[in-house]
């Protein structure tokens, strides 16, 4: 395994007492290069406090039963979840008491839903069974990838992007997209696919996803440790960025993906920094460039034009100059949030989080900053697809108030610098008992719903995934969201079933034996979607279907009903309604 750490960090397995430390991934830490003097807080202790979180909802708990796949064992303290605007989360988890023992899951207020189930040991192990779900490239899903760098991404439509190993398929490994509107899984890229650079892809890594189904991801076209950035949409893969291309302002890119894992099966996977993409199609990526000297920075590409948002050697809002950066998240307004190393005006090196856009960057929190009555001694790298910034500029992050660890906090820093603590290690959970460990890579949706991925809860439920909704104003519609809206359809039953969705402007309650009760119309009922064939072999399934984007429907209440089709039998199921914005 080889991971490139930028020059000012020195590898160390355990932070030294009294010094700052940085979480790189999972449980790996590196020691901060210097201390800048205890008490030298760089974030004001008197900063205004933001509005508290409104509510915390448990979404997935250890021990929940999964039809045909045992019970959930998520290890949420090391398998971060991503979250969408509706509050649905996507995550990897193992299961127990079944040979179908791992998978990719979505959880929301309606329950837990399996996207794909695998069999055997984990991704990259080379030890796979054949009892997993069918894959879109033949064979079956085998090993899935857990840990920080392989977290699946979810968008506002409910689509989920994930990596998996395949057994008996046309390729041994790939990046896949679950498409919620059609309840199908498609291949984004697989090892051995043609490369836009010529030849074939020798390695495929994780990526990010927007609501239009655009994917930006890491891949290698030649063996080595560095990777390129590719773009995929609707079955077409193109080159996004590679070394040797022009950098903004002159010079060329030298390195893009600089981190990779060597796996137990002898393969290599590029893991970061993963680029980010918003629903407007803007992409933020970390680049190392040759521009007369070596420049490290964050580039944002908008409609084909690259711009340095931040770069080494430039002034920071905390004083001093930037040194290096990790993977930046980008919101619908085009603001980024990123972890950076910087040199203070006194010449010492330190680290912190920053957010904003060119001309309006702000410091969020740096080492020794005031947090929850203490000082921040530990921070974590910014990593995608765990989106850290919402469309109002609130940024979620992890910090530790003890130099030796074990005082973790999940916090939200608002645009004015106020800090809200979402969860404290050792604090009350709301489910009974207290939090043990907290995963260091929370996510926040465009509308301000943040994940709390917890470890052992003493006296309560072990390894839960929670979602905290922030109070205060949020955008009715994300600046980049697809117009219209979404309706969620739940289906239960065997693979022989299908379903269709109908809509009307009015509701009713009309018995129609033997089909059930008609709950929409009865006049003006129109088919909206389907019929869709149920994609699983057992259990439940949910789809987020986009609604029509018509200005004439804004503010109009629509009513929906699902028709279940099982052979020659038809059954009217529950109805739902929504008002388009």
Q: Range with the lowest mean pLDDT among 18-27, 77-86, 308-317, 571-580?
A: 571-580
Are residues 162 and 152 in contact, defined by beta-carbon separation less than 8 angstroms?
Answer: yes
φ, ψ (nearest 5 deg) of residue 88: -80, 140
Residue 145's pLDDT is what? 97
Q: Identify the three-state secondary structure at position 27.
A: coil
| Tokens matching residue 424 | 């404290």
Omega before residue 531 within 30° of 0, cis: yes
| Buried-state track 231-248, b at ≥16 Cβ within 10 A, e below 16 | bbeeeebeebbbbeeebb
User: Per-domain residue ranges for the chain?
Assistant: 486-579
Residue 46's pLDDT is what? 39
Q: How far apart are CA 317 and CA 102, in angstroms?
A: 44
Show Cβ contacts of residue 429 under 8 Å, excluding neighbours closer than 6 positions: 423, 435, 454, 457, 460, 464, 466
> Is residue 539 scored above 50 in pLDDT?
no
Are residues 363 and 337 in contact, defined by beta-carbon separation less than 8 angstroms?
Answer: no
> Is residue 333 scored above 70 in pLDDT?
yes
Give the torsion sign (CA, 388, 394, 400, 406).
negative
CA distances from 424 to 29, 127, 247, 410 (A): 20, 38, 42, 7
Q: Range with the lowest mean pLDDT among 22-31, 190-199, 281-290, 546-555?
A: 546-555
Q: Comparing C-alpha atoms, which of 560, 561, 556 is closest to residue 580?
A: 556
Rounded mean pLDDT of the chain? 84
Residue 56's pLDDT is what? 82
Q: Give the pTM.
A: 0.81
Q: Select the more confidently predicted residue: 135 or 42.
A: 135
Residue-wise pLDDT for 420-439, tens only, equals 999 999 998 888 889 999 99
Q: How far apart are CA 450 and CA 446, in angstroms?
A: 10
Strands annotated E in 221-267: 228-233, 236-241, 252-255, 259-262
Are residues 388 and 396 in contact, defined by beta-carbon separation less than 8 angstroms?
Answer: yes
Q: Comparing C-alpha atoms, which of 255, 268, 140, 158 is closest to residue 204?
A: 268
How many residues make up the chain in this entry? 581
Give the position of tokens 């969705």.
Answer: 501
pLDDT-based confidence at residue 87 (cuts at 50, 70, 90): confident
pLDDT-based confidence at residue 59 (cuts at 50, 70, 90): confident
């Amino acid at each position: 395994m080889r991971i490139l750490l930028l020059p000012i960090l020195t590898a160390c397995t355990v932070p030294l007492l009294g010094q700052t430390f940085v979480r790189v991934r999972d449980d790996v830490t590196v020691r901060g290069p210097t201390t800048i003097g205890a008490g030298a807080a760089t974030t004001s202790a008197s900063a205004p406090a933001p509005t508290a979180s409104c509510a915390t909802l448990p979404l997935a708990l250890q021990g929940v039963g999964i039809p045909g796949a045992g019970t959930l064992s998520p290890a949420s303290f090391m398998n971060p979840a991503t979250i969408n605007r509706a509050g649905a989360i996507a995550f990897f988890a193992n299961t127990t008491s079944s040979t179908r023992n791992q998978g990719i899951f979505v959880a929301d207020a309606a329950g837990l839903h399996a996207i794909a189930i695998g069999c055997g040991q984990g991704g990259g192990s080379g030890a796979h069974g054949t009892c997993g779900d069918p894959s879109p490239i033949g064979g079956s899903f085998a090993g899935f990838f857990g840990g920080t760098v392989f977290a699946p991404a979810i968008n506002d439509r409910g689509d989920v992007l994930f990596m998996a190993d395949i057994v008996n398929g046309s390729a041994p490994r790939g990046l896949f997209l679950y498409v919620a509107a059609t309840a199908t899984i498609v291949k984004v890229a697989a090892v051995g696919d043609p490369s836009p650079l010529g030849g074939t892809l020798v390695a495929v890594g994780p990526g990010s996803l927007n609501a239009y189904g655009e994917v930006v991801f890491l891949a290698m076209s030649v063996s080595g440790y560095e990777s390129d950035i590719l773009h995929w949409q609707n079955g077409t893969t193109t080159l996004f960025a590679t070394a040797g291309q022009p950098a903004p302002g002159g010079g060329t890119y030298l390195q893009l993906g600089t981190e990779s894992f060597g796996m137990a099966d002898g393969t290599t996977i590029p893991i970061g920094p993963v680029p980010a993409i918003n629903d407007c199609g803007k992409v933020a990526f970390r680049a190392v460039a040759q521009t007369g000297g070596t420049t490290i920075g964050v580039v944002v590409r908008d409609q084909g034009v690259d711009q340095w948002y931040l770069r080494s050697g430039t002034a920071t809002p905390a004083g001093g100059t930037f040194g290096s950066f990790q993977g930046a998240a980008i919101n619908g307004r085009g603001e980024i949030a990123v972890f950076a190393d910087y040199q203070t005006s006194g010449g010492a090196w330190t680290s912190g989080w920053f957010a904003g856009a060119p001309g309006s960057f702000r410091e969020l929190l740096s080492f020794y900053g005031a947090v929850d009555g203490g000082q921040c001694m530990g921070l974590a790298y910014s990593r995608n697809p765990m989106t850290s910034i919402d469309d109002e500029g609130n940024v979620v992050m992890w910090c530790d108030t003890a130099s030796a660890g074990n005082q973790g906090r999940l916090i939200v820093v608002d645009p004015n610098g106020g800090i809200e603590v979402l969860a404290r290690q050792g604090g009350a959970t709301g489910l009974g008992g207290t939090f043990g460990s907290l995963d260091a890579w929370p996510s926040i949706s465009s509308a301000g719903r943040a994940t709390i991925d917890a470890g052992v809860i003493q006296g309560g439920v072990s390894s839960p995934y929670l979602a905290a909704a922030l109070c205060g104003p949020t955008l009715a519609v994300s600046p980049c969201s697809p117009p219209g809206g979404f309706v969620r359809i739940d289906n239960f039953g065997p693979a022989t079933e299908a379903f269709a969705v109908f809509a009307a402007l009015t509701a009713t309650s009309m018995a129609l034996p033997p089909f059930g009760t008609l709950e929409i119309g009865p006049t003006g009922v129109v088919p909206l979607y389907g019929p869709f064939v149920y994609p699983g072999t057992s259990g439940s399934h949910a789809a987020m279907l986009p609604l029509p984007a018509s200005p004439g429907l804004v503010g109009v209440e629509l009513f929906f009903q699902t028709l279940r089709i099982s052979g020659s039998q038809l059954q009217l199921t529950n109805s739902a309604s929504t008002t388009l914005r």
